[in-house]
Structure 1
Amino acid sequence: MAQPYDLVFRAQRLIGPNGETSGSVGIRDGRIAAVDAFDAELDAHRVVELAGDEVLLPGLVDTHVHVNDPGRAEWEGFETATRAAAAGGVTTIVDMPLNSLPPTVDVDALELKRKTAAAKAHVDVGFWGGAIPGKLDELRGLHEAGVFGFKCFLLHSGVDEFPPLDSAELDTALRELAGFDAMMIVHAEDSEAIEQAPTPHGEDYGDFLASRPKGAENLAIAQVIELARRIGARVHILHLASADALPLIASARADGVRVTVETCPHYLSFTAEEIPDGATQFKCCPPIREAANRELLWKALADGTIDCVVSDHSPCTPELKRLDIGDFGVAWGGVSSLQLGLPAIWTQARQRGYSLSDVVTWMARKPAELAGMRTKGSIAVGNDADLCVFAPDDAFVVDVANLQHRNPVSAYHGRPLAGVVRSTWLRGTQIAGNGTDTTAPQGKLLTRGEV
């Protein structure tokens, strides 16, 4: 006689690898052991039956999160960031190598980061390494230590301890990474184009937008693509905001260049035209662009030119946002949205006729594939039992006081959003939802090739 499952979910609506269906999901030892019909007779120690207005999704995978811990934990930390992730249906994050101190640019810094996160992670956490001048000989060691790839900037990163690579250094780094088939993820804005643009200052968002022109993105993306073409390296374009670069990306892909692309909820939700004077909570780099540009990003997401949607959660203290003076020139750039990505994208997606299956592809399956995570991102036998119970027709108005982020600052404050995360489950254990406020951290630290 077969052993009973530890837990079975029964859902009239379930987003599986082949789209929406109904079904039962059997979980044993933290893994999905069965995906069967809704009325299948699955013996279990516990059964969770979803309400009629709920949909069972795979836990989301967010591969672009700035946790800033250690060193700048007052901006965000692993405790608050991973609680926010869980509250938003995100069960796996990959942490960026900046703005922590020290940045994750060598194995010692990685070990410190892992030690810092170990006892605080409410979701699973992986790590990107950093590629900066003077540290390119550390890339192989970090790769062997299990980072999921390497991040670089092509202009000032905003923090002095993570300087950009110039053209020759980028060439050297890509050749090094190609030797062990590691991926370079790139903040692609051209430094010379930014230097020649108007200097941002004051409360007018239009002035800030002019300081980060589309051409800066387009030039940098072209440079990255041509180096990847020449070297055969794997490259990923972070937080694409300029729709002008989409034909170049599509052409490169058709030629066999190994380039992938992400965008973020804020580029798909907001428009430059609607940002009020002094509203520095909307400042990010590259910037939120015009409405017509936003619609082209949506089309590219639908046709696959853009691979995935991730948060680029880049928080700071309220003081650094300079909400007191509303000056876009001096405020820290970054949108806090880790907890809000799913409802933010669903709100916009449903208005354009896209399905929950599409959203799951963009926010769970594709980010997992990008990072090489074979057991994340879909409800399939053998995968980790990471699940999200989502009510797509429920709604709420964002109040920063109710978010798990460390600091109560978000561009989404006061915005009505469709879709409510009712509960989140990591390897079959509930980590968010009613009764989980005091739950001990359940997250694991992930190593490339072992997940």
Structure 2
Amino acid sequence: MPINAIASNNAIINGANKPATIVYSTESGTILEVLEDLVILDKTEITKYQIHTLEDVSPSTLLPGLVDSHVHLNEPGRTSWEGFETGTQAAISGGVTTVIDMPLNAIPPTTNVENFKVKLEAAQGQMWCDVGFWGGLVPHNLSDLVPLVKAGVRGFKGFLLDSGVEEFPPIGKEYIKKALRILGKEDTMMMFHAELPTVDDEQQQHEDNHREYSSFLSSRPDSFEIDAINLILECLRTIDGPVPPVHIVHLASMKAVPLIREARASGLPITTETCFHYLCIAAEQIPDGATYFKCCPPIRSEFNRQGLWDALYEGVITSVVSDHSPCTPELKNLPKGDFFDSWGGIASVGLGLPLMFTQDCSLVDIVTWCCEKTSKQAGMFHQKGAIAPGYDADLVVFDTKSEHVITNSSVYFKNKLTAYNGMVVKGTVLKTILRGQVVYTKANGVTKAPLGKTLLDPRR
């Protein structure tokens, strides 16, 4: 059995940055042993194993592979927007070894087992990282939820307002309560895009300049998020009996943080994530007509951005994800620059590690938010998200001393358009290892052969 070792005087293990030598099998793809506080330079010193190769990557830092639990790969059906090949290549280029695919915007959406099989078939031979899957909550698919759990989806996502695609309609209060009861005895999770406009909001005519970001921002106020979360909490509180954990995706409003804090303090099983763009970009920075900054909920003010960071450090926000939601440049309507008449979504899978590190948070915190918590959310923290014996040998070599510029031309996305174009960031991923196999190096790019696999095992 081929056994390798990798060492560094900086490794993120058990909530600390420390020297370590990691022994792993390329056959089983798992970590065999972690020798903490030791940087071994001679493979013959590891007498317990017959080491094939030993690499010292000091002073670069060894991290567990990131787990991005919110990615839209869009295949099949909208593969012109993104696909398994380009999306997973973008992921591994940034040290993301696992992505969890959202049930939309592919056609068909992952809302029943038949559709799920179509998705799985499309993924075969195209995964450069490991891929798990969320199912969808849509009207009239209550009977499909438990079969989807049995088929391997890791949880479910629903919208409380128009998702933007007709094949994934929104759900309401009665559906949510029924789904909570149905899934209460299953090992799964329910997630919500938490925006809820009122009738007046939906009928409001926006007469402001549609090229001005402030017009779009005012059209989706904080109250959308607050009202949606209140509705979800109301549903949770009315259920007498077991309920699955609930997760709020892409929280953008700091004004909604007290609701989550109070609900968690009362014992309700609710968590929430935010996104790289909400933590790294403020509304005041967004130029007129720059529709590649449009996303829903919207990027809010600098004051709000700082409030989200506070909630993250407090632990009320538990994880950070990309919400990689790409589209073709035509759908961003760049020549017109109309924020109302363009697709909302920011492409960023694989960019999160340097983006977060540039914000001067520690690598220990980044691993907590982007590896451990996201892995726990997806029910795979026995396997992914940490450097520990028995875990997958998903490892990242990260050079903390370098800087680089994110450019549209350098990203691996299918459509090379991101809100981070031109941003100078700290740190560079030098190498990504997936289950013991090198899948990316800065020098040579991604491997020719896809080594990723689907993750359909039951949650743990």
Which interval holds the TM-score relative to the shorter structure?
over 0.9
One-letter amino acid of the structure 1 residue matched with residue 343 of structure 2: W
Which residue of 2 is the match for residue 338 of structure 1? 349
> How far did residue 172 of structure 1 move?
1.6
Q: Does the 8 A contact of 2:246 with 2:270 survive in 1? A: yes
Rounded Cα–Cα distance in structure 2 between residues aligned with 1:304 and 1:450? 23
Rounded Cα–Cα distance in structure 1 between residues aligned with 2:119 and 2:209? 35
Distance 1:201 1:435, change over 3 A: same
Which residue of 2 is the match for residue 392 of structure 1? 400
Distance 1:275 1:39, change over 3 A: closer
Which residue of 2 is the match for residue 32 of structure 1? 31
One-letter amino acid of the structure 1 residue matched with residue 228 of structure 2: A
Q: Does the 8 A contact of 2:154 with 2:459 survive in 1? A: no
Q: How big is each residue's C-alpha offset from its partner over 1:32-61, in whole Å with a ceiling of 9 and x where there is no partner?
A: 001004245324101121042x10000000
Which residue of 2 is the match for residue 315 of structure 1? 326
User: Which of 11, 14, 20 is the matching residue for 1:14?
Assistant: 11
> How far did residue 277 of structure 1 move?
0.2
Rounded Cα–Cα distance in structure 2 between residues aligned with 1:322 and 1:39? 53
Which residue of 2 is the match for residue 367 of structure 1? 374
Distance 1:430 1:381, change over 3 A: same
Rounded Cα–Cα distance in structure 1 between residues aligned with 2:205 and 2:19? 55
Gaps of 5+ in 1: none
Give matches, 1:17-416, under 5 Å. 17-28=14-25, 29-36=28-35, 37-40=37-40, 41-42=45-46, 43-52=50-59, 54-192=60-198, 194-195=201-202, 199=206, 202-231=210-239, 232-233=242-243, 234-348=245-359, 350=360, 354-373=361-380, 374-416=382-424
Q: Does the 8 A contact of 2:104 with 2:168 survive in 1? A: yes
Moved over 6 A (4+): none
Gaps of 5+ in 2: none
Rounded Cα–Cα distance in structure 2 between residues aligned with 1:94 and 1:45? 33
> How far did residue 182 of structure 1 move?
2.5
Tell me the TM-score normalised to structure 2 length.
0.94
Structure 2 residue 448 is matched with structure 1 residue 439: yes
Rounded Cα–Cα distance in structure 2 between residues aligned with 1:186 and 1:323? 29
Q: Does the 8 A contact of 2:439 with 2:447 survive in 1? A: no
Q: Does the 8 A contact of 1:390 with 1:419 survive in 2? A: yes
Distance 1:335 1:135, change over 3 A: same
Q: Does the 8 A contact of 2:9 with 2:61 survive in 1? A: yes
Using the TM superposition, name which of 208-217 and 162-171 deviates more.
162-171
Q: Does the 8 A contact of 1:198 with 1:210 survive in 2? A: no
Q: Does the 8 A contact of 1:197 with 1:212 survive in 2? A: no
Distance 1:249 1:333, change over 3 A: same
Q: Does the 8 A contact of 1:390 with 1:423 survive in 2? A: yes
Using the TM superposition, name which of 437-446 and 311-320 deviates more.
437-446
Q: 1:179 is paired with a residue of what secondary structure? A: coil
One-letter amino acid of the structure 1 residue matched with residue 419 of structure 2: A
Q: How big is each residue's C-alpha offset from its partner over 1:258-300, in whole Å with a ceiling of 9 and x where there is no partner?
A: 0010000000000011100000000000000001111110011
Rounded Cα–Cα distance in structure 1 between residues aligned with 2:456 and 2:304? 37
Tell me the TM-score normalised to structure 1 length.
0.96
Rounded Cα–Cα distance in structure 2 between residues aligned with 1:204 and 1:436? 38
The alignment covers a number of residue pairs equal to 443
Rounded Cα–Cα distance in structure 2 between residues aligned with 1:270 and 1:81? 22
**Identity across the alignment (%):** 47
Q: 2:198 is paired with a residue of what secondary structure? A: helix
CA RMSD across the alignment:
1.5
Q: Does the 8 A contact of 2:7 with 2:58 survive in 1? A: no
